[in-house]
Copies of this chain bind each other. A is one copy, B any other.
Amino acid sequence: MSNVGGMRIGELAKRAGTTTRALRYYEARGLLPAQRDGNGHRTYDESDLRLLRQIRTLQDFGFGLEETRPFVECLRAGHPAGDSCPASLAVYRAKLDELDGLIGQLRSVREQVAAQLARAEEARAALAAGAEVPGGPEPVCEMTHGGVFE
């Protein structure tokens, strides 16, 4: 059943498009344990590659490492896909909620910043117009005039 194609950490890293440092980190976190050969070198097989790819995919989507754990365990349990298990689906849903909340916040902030910008630009336009009027307000500082007083 399990593939015999043992590879070492460098090769696995390359094939998954990541680094050996990351792999050791995953192992330290208990996310991707490795077999060892006679020299103490980590040994991985094809199924490890699948687990690792699952991790990487989720990471690229912005999932935290802990959030990938259910997917990895699901795969290790023999399921056809990392998201074949309820726990994985729960993570999906939680992430959707999180994203919705975040997107909402960011849009709100964006609106307010845009409003501030518009207001400030208008104020500056009003100032410029006032400057054209004889007896307009005195110049405010160097930053509004390109370092004249610098």
Q: How many residues of A contact B (CB 8 A)?
A: 42
Q: Nearest residue in B to A106 (C-beta to C-beta)?
A: B103
Which chain B residue has the least Cβ–Cβ distance from A85? Answer: B143
* Given A77-B141, A99-B106: A120 touches B61 (CB 8 Å cut-off): no
Complex-state Cα separation, A89 to B114, whole angstroms: 10
Evaluate contact between B120 and A79: CB separation under 8 angstroms.
no
Contact of A79 among B79, B117, B144 (CB under 8 A): B144
Quick one: which of B84, B88, B113 contacts A140, CB cutoff 8 A? B84
Of chain B, the residue at the smallest CB distance from A70 is B143
Bound complex: CA of A113 vs CA of B71, how far in Å?
14
Assembly CA distance A147 to B109 (angstroms): 44
Interface residues of A in 77-135 (CB under 8 A from B): 77-81, 83-89, 92-93, 95-96, 99-100, 102-103, 106-107, 109-110, 112-114, 116-117, 120-121, 123-124
Known contacts A77-B141, A79-B144, A140-B78; A113 and B96 CB within 8 A of each other: yes
Q: Please tell me if A62 contacts chain B, counting CB pairs below 8 Å.
A: yes
Interface of chain A, helix or strand or loop or mixed?
helix
Q: Is A142 an interface residue (CB 8 A)?
A: yes
The distance in angstroms between the C-alpha atoms of A50 and B103, with both chains bound, is 31
Across the interface, which residues of B come within 8 angstroms of A86, CB to CB?
A: 143-144
Chain B residue contacts of A79, Cβ below 8 A: 140-141, 143-144
Say if the beta carbon of A32 comes within 8 Å of chain B: no
